Amino acid sequence: MSTEREYVGKGVKAEKFDLINISISKSKIDDHWFEYNGEHYLKLTVGGLREKDQYGKTHSVWINDYKPNQGQPTAVKKAPVGEVQDLPF
């Protein structure tokens, strides 16, 4: 994951609803599409701003460049017999 975010758009929370309407610059996302199982995807993250910007925007949109350790197995801790594992949520 890079240390700097690549911002590609902004958004605003819709009044009276739990919705965020965002606008994304096509020219900023063209190089970030990837293919998986024959489909094309774009990973984005939306985050709230501390305060509205000069245009009333309340959220920023940036490229989600997180890549897990590919090829390295993750250790799974198994609960001893008779114990209940915590749910993942």
pLDDT digits (tens, 9 = 90+) for 42-60: 999 999 999 999 999 999 9
The pLDDT value recorded for residue 76 is 55
- Tell which residue, 70, 60, 54, has the closest CA to residue 1: 70
Structure tokens at 54: 């000069």
Give the confidence band of 33 by pLDDT, cuts at 50, 70, 90.
Answer: very high
Q: How far apart are CA 69 and CA 19, in angstroms?
A: 33
pLDDT tens for each residue of 1-21: 557 889 999 999 888 888 999
Residue 58: what are its φ and ψ, rounded to 5°?
A: -115, -10
pTM of the model: 0.66
